[in-house]
Structure 1
Amino acid sequence: MSLPTDPVANLAALIRCPSVTPSEGGALVALEAMLKPLGAEVRRPVFSEPGEADVENLYARVGTKPPHLMFAGHTDVVPPGDEDAWTHPPFAAQIADGWMFGRGAVDMKGGIACFVAALARYAEQHGAPEGSVSFLITGDEEGPAVNGTEKLLAWAAAAGERWDAALVGEPTCIEALGDMIKTGRRGSLSGRITVTGRQGHVAYPHRADNPIPGLLALASALIAEPFDEGTASFQPSNLEITSIDVGNPAVNVIPGRASAAFNIRFNDRWNAETLKAEIARRLDRAADEARRRFGRAAPLAYELEWRERPSPVFLTRDEKLISALSASIEEVTGRKPELSTSGGTSDARFIKNYCPVVEFGLVGQTMHMVDERVALGDLETLTRIYLRFLEDWF
C-alpha cells in the first residue's frame, strides 16, 4: 500500500471535496483514506447543539506511546462566492503556472496535506515514531465553532487522550514561507449597543426622539482613546465599530431605534471581565455627557448586549516546542521566523487549555479570496519543514 508522501496529490484530493461549513463534503473521507495506510486509528464523531447544524469531525492517532504530538486544523472552508469570478473552478484543484487553485488551498487544507505527507515520509525513512502523532481535525472552524474543536478536545480527553504539545497548521506566514510562527493570539470580545427613541416625521422633530445622535455619541466614546499601547508580546488592543443599523429605508422618517455592533481584539493587559467593565464605564460617561449636550433631563438610556462567547488571550512559552519548530524552519528555508501574536483568533484558543500550542503553515495572502491558491514549491517546502520538525521532536 503506497503512502501519501506527495503533498500536491494530497491537497488536490482535499480541494475536490466541497466542504463548505458545515458540510463534510467528502473531505474527512479523503483524509481518512490518507491516514489509514499510516496505521492510524480513525474516528469521526458528530457533534450537535440546538439551533446549530450537526458537524462531523475527525480524530486519528498513530502510535500509542508518549511523547504525544497533536496536529490540529480544519477541512471546512468558506463559500467560494461568485464562481464565475474564479480563473479556475474553486473545487477543481487545477494547476497553472506552478500554482494550485482552489478554495481551502491555504486555509487550511494545504497545511493538512503537507503534514500528512511529512508523517508519511517520516514512516518511510524512519519507521514508526518513538511516540504518537494525532490529528484533531474539525469541520466547524470557519463556522460558529460550536460543534468542532472545543467538543472534539473534550471528547478525546474524556476517552483518555493526553497531549504533550500541539501544532496548528493555519496559514501564518505573511510574505514568504517561514517568516512567522504564531505563539499566541489576542482575545476577542463582541457587543452591540442599542438606543431606543421615538419614531416621527422629520418635519416635526419635537414630536419624535431621534436615537441616532445618541448612538453616535456612544460609539464615538468607545474609540475616542486607545485602550493601551500594547505589551511586550502583543499589539495594542483595538476596538472597531463593525455596523450601524437603523432599519429605516425612508428619508422623511426619524427612526425609533438605532444600534451599533463592535468587536475588540485585546492583549494580555485585559481579560473579558475587565474589558467589559471598561467599555461600560466609557458608555456611561458618554451617556451622561449626552444628557448635557442634547438637553436631556436624564442620561441617555441605552442597552448593551454581549454577543457570542469571548475568546481569551493566550501566549505559549514552551521552549522545546518553539525552538524545535523555529530550528526546522531556519534549516529548511534559511529564514529565522518572527514569533508573533498578531491576526485574528483560531482554534488554538481551545487547544491551549490542554497542552502548549503554536501555529505554523502556508503564506495566507489569498485565503478567503477569489482564486485562493498556493505555490507548488511552498507545498514541498512546508512538507520538508514539518518532516524536519517531526525528526527533531521525536
Structure 2
Amino acid sequence: MLNEQRSHEVIALCQKLIQNKSYSGQENEAAATLESYMKENGFDDVKIDEYGNIIGHIQGSQKGPKILFDGHIDTVPVEDAGKWQYPPFAAEIHDGKIYGRGTSDMKGAVAAMVSAAAFFSKDLKKNFAGDIYLAGVVHEECFEGVAARSISELVKPDYVVIGEASNLNLKIGQRGRAEIVLESFGKSCHSANPDKGINAVYKICQAVEKIKNIQPPHHDVLGDGILELTDIKSSPYPGASVVPDYCRATYDRRLLTGETKDSVLEPIQNVIDDIMKTDNDASYKVSYAVGKEKCYTGNIIEGERFFPGWLYKKDDDFVENIMDELNKAGFSPEITQYNFCTNGSHYAGEANIKTIGMGPSKENIAHTVDEYIEIDQLTKVTQCYMAIMKALLK
C-alpha cells in the first residue's frame, strides 16, 4: 500500500496533467509537466523526440532487460464544457474521484507510471537489473501506434506495458483497426441529362451492397473481424444539378491476429474486380486511409490507418511472472483483452515486442462527459506498476 506522502504525490501529478489541456497536437504543457517531474525525481535522462513524445529513462546498476511504460498524453476534445458537472480541466476531487478530461484516458495511468518508476528506483537505490523507460506519447487519439514507432526505434524495449484503462485487470491482446477507403469514379454531367454521365454514387452503392456479403474472419478469443460502413460522401457536394463524378465510402475494419494489409483488402478487391468485369462504366479503387497531423513541435506525423491486432497466451512466461508478482502484492487481476485499439498495435502487432496492458479506471469512462478516475484505482495501479517492474527487472 502506498504511504500517504506517495499517494498525495501521484494524485497531485495526475491533477497537474489534467490541468494541462492537451488535445492532439497540443501536448506541449503536459510534456513539460512530465519533464519537470522526471528531472526532479532521479531520471537519468529525458528526451523529447521530433513528434513531441517525451521519453524518460532510469538505468539500473546491473545489466538486464528494457521495460517501456507507454501512456498517451493527448485527449479527445471537450465538445461542450457546459454539460459537465465539474470543470473539465480543473481536476477537482469529489467523493474520492478526480474529474476531468483525460483522467481515465489516460493521464491517471501516466501519472501512476512515472511515479511508480521514481518510487521503485528510490526504494532500490537503482540496484536492479535493466532499464525503465517512460513514454508520454502524442497523437494516439488520431492514430494508434504511429508515434510509438519512433519510441520503440529509440528505446528498443524487451517489454512494453500499455497503461490504457483496464480496471486493474491484465490485458494480453486486442483487436486491431483499419480504416478502408473505397472510391468510385464516374463522369459528370447536368442532372437534367443524367444519361450523358456516369453517377459515381450509384456505382458505389452497387459495390456496397455486394461488400455486405463479405464474411470477415472470426477468432475464438478476440471475436469477429468486423467490416462496417461508416460514411459516404460524393463530389461535387452539394451537387447543384450536377451528376457526381466521384464518391468515397469509408469502412471500419476490426483486425485479428495474423491479418495483413493485403489479406484484409483482398476480398473487397475481388468484389470490385467482379463488378468491373461485367460493368464497363464501373471504376473503383480500394486503399487504406492516410492520417496526417501537425505536432506541437511543428513536425508532421503521417501514417496509414492500419493498426494490427495482437494476442499473447496466459501461460507465456512473462505473463506468469507478472501475475506472480501482482499476486504477491495483494492483487488478483483477471487476464483479458482490450475491446479497443491501443499503441500495442505497434509494439506487439508490428514490432513483436512482448506487451501487456494494465491501467486504472473502467474502459467505458473514456471520452465521456464527467470523465473521472477513482483515487483508489490510481494509487493501486501505482503499486501494480511497481510489481510489474519487480517481475521483469530481475
Q: Specify which of 305, 316, 320 is matched with residue 323 of structure 1.
A: 320
Q: Deviations over 1:254-291 (max 9, x none)?
A: 32322212231221352211222222112222444xx4
For 1:387 and 1:146, locate their aligned partners in 2 and report how far apart those are by CA, in whole Å: 25
> 2:71 aligns to what?
73
- The farther-off stretch of 357-366 and 309-318 is 309-318
Per the normalisation by structure 1, the TM-score is: 0.82
> 1:160 aligns to what?
none
Q: Deviations over 1:209-263 (max 9, x none)?
A: 32222211212222223122x2234222111212100143357543232221223
> Is 1:166 matched with 2:160?
yes
> 1:300 aligns to what?
282
> Is 1:241 matched with 2:232?
no
Gaps of 5+ in 2: 291-303
For these two proteins, the number of residue pairs brought into alignment is: 368
For 1:303 and 1:260, locate their aligned partners in 2 and report how far apart those are by CA, in whole Å: 11
Contact 1:271/1:313, CA 8 A, preserved across alignment: no
> 2:272 aligns to what?
283
CA RMSD of aligned residues (A): 2.9
Change (3 A) 1:391 1:192: closer
Q: What SS does the corresponding residue of 1:66 show, helix, strand or coil?
A: strand
Contact 1:140/1:149, CA 8 A, preserved across alignment: no
Gaps of 5+ in 1: 48-53, 158-162
Change (3 A) 1:389 1:56: closer
Report how far residue 370 of structure 1 moved.
Answer: 2.4
> Is 1:20 matched with 2:41?
no
For 2:371 and 2:338, locate their aligned partners in 1 and report how far apart those are by CA, in whole Å: 24
Change (3 A) 1:45 1:383: closer
Change (3 A) 1:282 1:328: farther
Change (3 A) 1:88 1:75: same
Q: Structure 2 matches for 1:1-394, cutoff 5 A?
A: 5=7, 6-47=9-50, 54-64=51-61, 65-123=63-121, 125-131=123-129, 132-144=131-143, 148-157=147-156, 163-171=157-165, 173=166, 177-178=167-168, 180-228=169-217, 230-247=218-235, 248-250=237-239, 253-288=242-277, 291=278, 296=279, 298=280, 300-308=282-290, 309=304, 310-317=306-313, 319-327=316-324, 335-340=332-337, 342-344=339-341, 346-352=342-348, 353=351, 355-362=353-360, 363-393=362-392, 394=394
Contact 1:18/1:25, CA 8 A, preserved across alignment: no
Change (3 A) 1:306 1:386: closer
Change (3 A) 1:109 1:278: same
Change (3 A) 1:338 1:145: closer
Q: Deviations over 1:304-349 (max 9, x none)?
A: 23323222333334823322333455566765413225322x2223
Contact 1:28/1:58, CA 8 A, preserved across alignment: no
